[in-house]
Amino acid sequence: MRTEIRQRIRERSRTIADPAGRAVPVLADAAALEVAREGGLELPEVYREALGLGILPCRYIRNGDVLSVGEQLRLAESRVAVAGAGGLGGQAILLLARLGVGTLVIADGDRFEESNLNRQALCAGETVGEWKALAAAAVVSAVNPGVRVIPHPVKLDAGVVDGILAGSDAVIDGLDNVPDRMLLQDAAARLGIPMVHGALAGFEGRVMTVLPGDAGVRALYGDGPGPEDTERPEAVLGVPAVTAALVGTLQAMEVLKILLKRGNLFRNVMAWCDLESGRLEPFRFGGAAPGNK
């Protein structure tokens, strides 16, 4: 069966010139859908088979040399969990879907409301009132049907968090309170999963990658319960779209580095940014030097 599928992919692929004038074998979405229907497969499976043959789904051609076909395959074979599908998580979800991460696990126990429209990338007039995790699945399906989405419209707690994260290669912290972040970090550590933390308030934001065994968010927040909801910085200063977009983008880039094992991570480093002053500075904490290990 796999041999037949691969033969069909080869037959329906074509060679085109990329923006740099290089010949590249590609598979258009329409052709990939035909192969999927004929073989009784889902589109993500066809994408993986094509990439295994060195044939690039046409949508990824603009990734150019920055992502090789082999790296694109690695992304297609990866699974990333996103805790929170709001301002940070929604931005990261869209970026990871466009990059071609094969499976996204999305957990959020809230519904969209009108006050989310100012910054949450997955929130639109027609999705107000919908479960964020389910709306995210629908949006990703429209953006990149080659990505499988597993939505969990539930609040993360000790009873469900391990099951939701299990099997993931990385997890994004798009949560909005200290206790839930501690819960997420502890679960990720138990399961041996890197976690990318993000937070914002006003025009300031921060990102930190936490590997199992790192102090991580405890280095930022300590072990206390955190401030009351009305006293949290984001409640006082607000959460504008530009900050959510930047921090969510930095989180997605950290995940990309984790999955591809390249570049330097913000590990034991809080990358702090202030959009209004145009500053991005690293604040280092104890532990290993910044990097992948």
Task: Give the domain ranges of the chain.
Answer: 2-73, 78-284
**What's the pLDDT tens digit per position in 106-148?**
999 999 999 999 999 999 999 999 999 999 999 999 999 999 9
CA distance 59 to 101: 13
Q: Any residues with CB less than 8 A from the CB of 272 and at least 6 apart, and which?
A: 204, 205, 206, 279, 280, 281, 282, 283
Position 226 scores a pLDDT of 61
Q: Any residues with CB less than 8 A from the CB of 253 and at least 6 apart, and which?
A: none
Furthest-apart CA atoms within the chain: distance in Å: 61
CA proximity to 175, closest of 191, 195, 189, 160:
195
CA distance 268 to 214: 8
CA distance 250 to 11: 39
Residue bearing the bigger pLDDT, 231 or 68: 68
Buried b (16+ CB within 10 A) or exposed e, 130-153: bbbbbbbbebbeeebbbbbbebbb
Residue 219 near residue 285 (C-beta atoms within 8 A): yes
Convert 222-269 into a string of H (helix), E (strand) and C (coil): CCCCCCCHHHCHHHHHCCCHHHHHHHHHHHHHHHHHHHHCCCCCCECE
**pLDDT class of 1 with cuts at 50, 70, 90:** confident
What is the identity of the amino acid at 186?
D
**What's the pLDDT tens digit per position in 226-280?**
666 655 666 656 789 999 999 999 999 999 999 999 999 999 999 999 999 999 9
pLDDT (average), residues 54-76: 95
CA atoms lying within 13 Å on the CB side of residue 91: 24
pLDDT averaged over every residue in the chain:
93
Please state which CATH number belongs to domain 78-284.
3.40.50.720
Q: Which two tokens stand for residue 199?
A: 């937070």
Position 17 scores a pLDDT of 94
Position 128 scores a pLDDT of 96
